[in-house]
Structure 1
């Protein structure tokens, strides 16, 4: 679809129904709170959840009922600031944290705002996402990026913050061994963050050889491709091949696949920690006996919480995590639909969509 972008007020990429998208020029959003800022969105990464909404129209209880702007992995430039904004000014380049909590419920007051009962998260029905020329956020959910970080890299801060939260949930510490199931963007970043936290071993597990090849070049110290055998047999072979006689200190699933859940718990040492970061089927089986006899700590991980986004920016700025390597390519805003089709087909690691500049 050909679209004029130079005169657009707020050109947006809108999901109308399953596999039905359109470009729509919407009104420029207003600043409704004195602490809000208006952002000219410059780059947006395509996430698996975006593709899932595009292909299925729902994720769990979140069902598309009205047209919704897609996108939530974004960076941009401040275009306007509210009267009470003190930390940002027009022209500042920022990474955008795309979920706004209520700040009043018990989880929010307990410092776990990612569990807010009234979270308004971008591109999650009924909330519009960031694939638009302009987007509004509170100033404290915008993170000014140093000159050494590009706006493309800043868009990848969102999945990096997810990985930061997962690795913090696992309490990874120096010298530990970590096994990460799923070598997609979040799994790869979990390997990188685990290494940044001091893990001596970060083993990437996937069924796709090309992903494992990339993982080994990126941040994994070793890779493992499961065979079509039992989960316990795969776990035993993984431990033998990597010198983990007693098992891994930490296992992280970033795939959502049930075989990974089983193998992950089998690969743990006694007293080890398992973190579920990938979302798969709403219900799955668990090797309860193994988990009990190992007295494993099992945790979930959801999005990101206090301090995760800022730490993600610091990890990139310091060079401890390289997100540039994950960026497969950038497409124009007009080619957003084609980019979604290619990501759905499994092409590339992280594809970015360039925004409409002012």
Structure 2
């Protein structure tokens, strides 16, 4: 649970409370890595009736399929198809896509760091009654619940760990692209 203080607990917060309020909801995940994959695992475990994971990376999609999610490399808007959408790409065009796919009164959570300007379909969001939350999350409050789910055996967050790397190799390994590396230090 190397990600308990960050991505795992954030992913739990992005989807678990909404599934509790909307049992059997359909979940759309538009992502580029570990957060979206954790969301797939959590959504399936907590009873989502459908999970679609959208990511151009075939290795990421394979992990999502292992969690029982349907996958797509890209997606055209499918109006009124999903009750909950999670966007974790940092791309405003992908956030706009996610909100366009929501059912009336649908919920979209964005964990993306949006550093570039973009446009959202505000009129569509208004007419559909979308709730949108964009935030850097304070995961501390969610760690106990997220860890309880992790310990339940209903989820398999370890599938997202791409590499276990010795602490001494951190300076050379960190600049390399890894889905979810975990650095370990041997006890002296």
Fold shared per TM-score above 0.5 = yes
Q: For the Cα contact (< 8 Å) 1:183–1:204, is it kept in 2?
A: no
Shift of 1:214: 2.2
Does residue 253 (structure 1) correspond to residue 90 (structure 2)? The answer is no
Q: Distance in 1 between matches of 2:43 and 2:135?
A: 15
Deviations 1:220-277 (A, max 9, x none): 42012216xxxxxx013xx7xxxxxx42101110111122111101111121111111
Does residue 162 (structure 1) correspond to residue 10 (structure 2)? The answer is yes
2:129 is aligned to 295
**Counterpart among 315, 335, 349 of residue 169 in structure 2:** 335
Q: For the Cα contact (< 8 Å) 1:204–1:220, is it kept in 2?
A: no
Structure with the greater relative contact order (CA < 8 A, sep ≥ 6): 1 or 2? 2
Q: Distance in 2 between matches of 1:220 and 1:166?
A: 18
2:119 is aligned to 285
Q: Distance in 2 between matches of 1:187 and 1:196?
A: 14
Q: Distance in 2 between matches of 1:305 and 1:334?
A: 28
Q: Distance in 2 between matches of 1:285 and 1:256?
A: 13
* Higher percent of residues as helix: 2
**Counterpart among 52, 62, 71 of residue 223 in structure 1:** 71
2:77 is aligned to 235
Shift of 1:182: 0.6
2:183 is aligned to 353
Q: TM-score when scaled to structure 1? A: 0.48
Which portions of structure 1, spanning 4 or more consecutive aligned residues, are displaced by more than 3 angstroms?
A: 304-307
**Structure with the greater alpha carbon radius of gyration:** 1
2:59 is aligned to 210
Decide whether aligned partners of structure 1 residues 307 and 213 sit closer, same or farther in structure 2, where only a CA change above 3 A counts: same
Q: CA RMSD for the aligned pairs? A: 2.0
**Counterpart among 38, 44, 49 of residue 200 in structure 1:** 49
Shift of 1:209: 2.4
Decide whether aligned partners of structure 1 residues 328 and 185 sit closer, same or farther in structure 2, where only a CA change above 3 A counts: same
Q: For the Cα contact (< 8 Å) 1:256–1:279, is it kept in 2?
A: yes
Q: Distance in 2 between matches of 1:162 and 1:186?
A: 8
Q: State how 1:1-358 maps to structure 2 within 5 Å.
A: 154-158=1-5, 159-168=7-16, 171-172=18-19, 173-217=22-66, 219-226=67-74, 234-236=76-78, 246-281=80-115, 283-305=117-139, 307-343=141-177, 347=178, 349-358=179-188
1:95 is aligned to none
Q: Distance in 1 between matches of 2:140 and 2:161?
A: 26
Q: TM-score when scaled to structure 2? A: 0.88
Secondary structure in 1 matching 2:83: strand
Q: Distance in 1 between matches of 2:95 and 2:37?
A: 17
Secondary structure in 1 matching 2:182: strand
Q: Distance in 1 between matches of 2:174 and 2:8?
A: 21
Q: For the Cα contact (< 8 Å) 2:92–2:117, is it kept in 1?
A: no
Shift of 1:190: 1.0
